[in-house]
């Protein structure tokens, strides 16, 4: 029996973006290893028709377990995107395309920066396996020889690197290999995966492209790191990071660039780190930041509680809710010492009051160090701890505690802060240390 679940753009626009866990679509189901299924064969859960560079009005339906795209009655096309964002990843999909029709697989799609497309232009003189981004980056005149008419064709796409690298296989054979010129600008480092119906085609209304067996696997970042080891045990920005606009927030020797709120006793620079013992208040950056990436190494003692404030107001309001807070806490010993159970968002990496870290057990206690890499752009925040993506969410869609502002009403710019908080047990002395603090304005 034919089963059809229609999804017009108007209904897609009503879908809220909820992504968590490892930074990909929250509705995706984990498979063996690191693979995640992106399509359940029944619904378009986990997909949206907006939020990329080429939004449109194509007709997307689920028919007989297959995601199907057609032009609308006005011969308009458009993309359907994953809710989740992906930077370095492997994506697999089976594709069947009517002839003649134009489609494609889109990578790192965001509204205001360029991504790239692996073309599936199944028309006379069309190219299958070319790389396109507001113009051809690389042609592929022979790719169509690997594409089988009226059959399912298996694509595997590997996308890596800040300087975009795309390797694509079609039905088990290498289709294309593309490397972007180093230092190219205007390209998004992360974004959605998109599937296309190209508009403006003078073809019968029911001409279609179909997709099934979609899955994704995130890959480790192999680019030059943001920070590299320097003499004396500290880190310094890599040459590439400097060229990309990263700058230090902390000089490693003084409190220059920071304001201490609360008692000054218990705040010191020691061994190249900002060391803060348990107490009240926070350290505030003297500069305000709106859209940015933050890199920070931190070390915490047993029973410690701290956090990193972002876009916080310069007022007496709680910085965790005038802006937001990414939690720092002794996940392993706090509950037993304090005598109560934590909310899931109170563990290290949690977006305080709203989002739990999708991965636990990553935190290391002193004497080991941890690394945060946080990207905050518009309403979207992505947090990585020790190289693991904890979440990648649109903050306008997340819950907030009672009597606190929703994220849409919070400050759009503000200070970066390092929280000073009491210990789990009264009378306990704890510490948190921060070093190698770097920021990049986006």
CA distance 43 to 40: 6
CA distance 291 to 311: 9
The two structure tokens encoding residue 186: 């205007």
The CA distances from residue 106 to 131, 183, 215, 327, in Å, are: 10, 21, 14, 34
State the first-to-last Cα distance of the chain, in angstroms, to the nearest integer: 51
The two structure tokens encoding residue 168: 């694509």
The pLDDT of residue 395 is 95
Pick the closest to residue 191 from 244, 138, 112, 131 (CA basis). Answer: 112
To 10 degrees, the CA torsion angle through 111, 112, 117, 122? 60
Which residues in the chain land under pLDDT 70? 1-33, 221-224, 423-428
Please report the beta strands in 336-430, taking only residues with DSSP state E, as ranges in sequence order.
370-377, 380-385, 388-394, 414-419
The pLDDT of residue 285 is 98
CA distance 427 to 442: 42
The pLDDT of residue 182 is 74
CA distance 345 to 325: 10
Domains 4-218 and 227-441 agree in fold:
yes
With residues binned 3-state (H G I as helix, E B as strand, rest as coil), the percentages for the chain, rounded to 5, are 10, 45, 50
The pLDDT of residue 234 is 85
The two structure tokens encoding residue 44: 């378009």
Residue with tokens 């509204």: 111
Query: Long-range pairs for 381-384 at CB < 8 Å and ≥24 separation?
Result: 381/310, 381/324, 381/351, 382/23, 382/85, 382/190, 383/326, 383/349, 383/351, 383/357, 384/23
- Residue 150 has a CB neighbour count (10 Å cut-off) of 8
User: What is the domain partition of the chain in residue ranges?
Assistant: 4-218, 227-441
The two structure tokens encoding residue 59: 């007709």
The pLDDT of residue 20 is 33
State which H helix or E strand residue 240 sits in.
helix 239-244
The two structure tokens encoding residue 422: 């009491």
Do the beta carbons of residue 424 and residue 282 sit within 8 Å?
no
CA distance 213 to 67: 10
CA distance 304 to 276: 10
Residue with tokens 């070093």: 435
The pLDDT of residue 29 is 36
Please report the beta strands in 89-172, taking only residues with DSSP state E, as ranges in sequence order.
89-97, 101-109, 116-122, 128-132, 136-138, 153-160, 165-170
Do the beta carbons of residue 75 and residue 206 sit within 8 Å?
no
pTM of the model as a whole: 0.55
The two structure tokens encoding residue 196: 């296309």
Pick the closest to residue 186 from 242, 114, 244, 116 (CA basis). Answer: 114
Pick the closest to residue 430 from 242, 185, 202, 266 (CA basis). Answer: 266
Q: Please, what is the Cα angle at 16 between 14 and 18, to 5 degrees?
A: 165
DSSP label at residue 437:
E
Pick the closest to residue 419 from 220, 211, 261 (CA basis). Answer: 261
* Fold designation for 4-218: Jelly Rolls (2.60.120)
Q: Name the CATH code of domain 227-441 (choices 1.10.40.30, 3.40.50.300, 2.40.10.10, 2.60.120.560).
A: 2.60.120.560
Q: 3, exposed or middle or buried, with CB in 10 Å at 0-12, 13-18, 19+?
A: exposed
């Amino acid at each position: 029996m034919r089963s059809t679940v229609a999804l017009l753009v108007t209904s897609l626009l009503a879908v809220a973006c909820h992504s968590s866990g490892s930074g990909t679509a929250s509705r995706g189901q984990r498979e063996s290893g690191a693979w995640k299924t992106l399509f359940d064969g029944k619904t378009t859960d986990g997909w949206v028709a907006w939020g990329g560079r080429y939004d449109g009005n194509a007709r997307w339906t689920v028919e007989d377990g297959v995601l199907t795209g057609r032009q609308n009655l006005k011969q308009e096309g458009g993309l359907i995107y994953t809710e989740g964002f992906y930077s370095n990843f492997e994506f697999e999909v089976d594709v069947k395309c009517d002839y003649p029709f134009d489609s494609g697989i889109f990578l790192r799609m965001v509204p205001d920066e360029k991504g790239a497309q692996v073309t599936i232009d199944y028309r006379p003189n069309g190219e299958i396996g070319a790389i396109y981004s507001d113009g051809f980056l690389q042609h592929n005149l022979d790719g169509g020889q690997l594409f089988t008419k009226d059959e399912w064709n298996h694509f595997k796409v590997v996308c890596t690197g800040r300087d975009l690298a795309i390797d694509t296989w079609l039905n088990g054979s290498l289709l294309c290999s593309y490397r972007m010129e180093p230092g190219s600008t205007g390209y998004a480092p992360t974004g959605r995966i998109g599937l296309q119906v190209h508009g403006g085609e003078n073809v019968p209304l029911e001409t279609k492209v179909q997709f099934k067996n979609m899955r994704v696997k995130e890959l480790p970042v192999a680019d030059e790191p943001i920070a590299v080891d320097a003499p004396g045990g500290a880190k310094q920005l890599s040459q590439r990071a400097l060229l990309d606009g990263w700058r230090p927030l902390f000089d490693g020797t003084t409190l220059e660039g920071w304001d201490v709120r609360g008692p000054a006793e218990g705040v010191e620079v020691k061994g190249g780190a900002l060391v803060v013992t348990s107490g009240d208040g926070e350290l505030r950056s003297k500069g305000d930041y709106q859209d940015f990436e933050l890199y920070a190494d931190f070390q915490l003692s047993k029973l410690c509680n701290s956090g990193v404030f972002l876009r916080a107001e310069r007022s007496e309001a709680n910085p965790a809710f005038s802006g937001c807070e990414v939690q720092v806490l002794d996940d392993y010993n706090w509950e037993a010492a304090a005598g109560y159970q934590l909310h899931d968002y109170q563990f290290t990496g949690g977006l305080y009051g709203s989002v739990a870290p999708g991965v636990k057990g990553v935190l290391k206690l002193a004497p080991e160090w941890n690394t945060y890499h946080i990207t905050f752009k518009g309403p979207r925040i992505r947090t990585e701890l020790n190289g693991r993506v904890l979440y990648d969410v649109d903050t306008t869609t997340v819950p907030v505690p009672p009597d606190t502002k929703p994220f849409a009403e919070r400050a759009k710019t503000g200070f970066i802060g390092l929280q000073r908080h009491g210990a789990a047990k009264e009378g306990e002395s704890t510490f948190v240390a921060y070093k190698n603090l770097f920021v990049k304005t986006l």
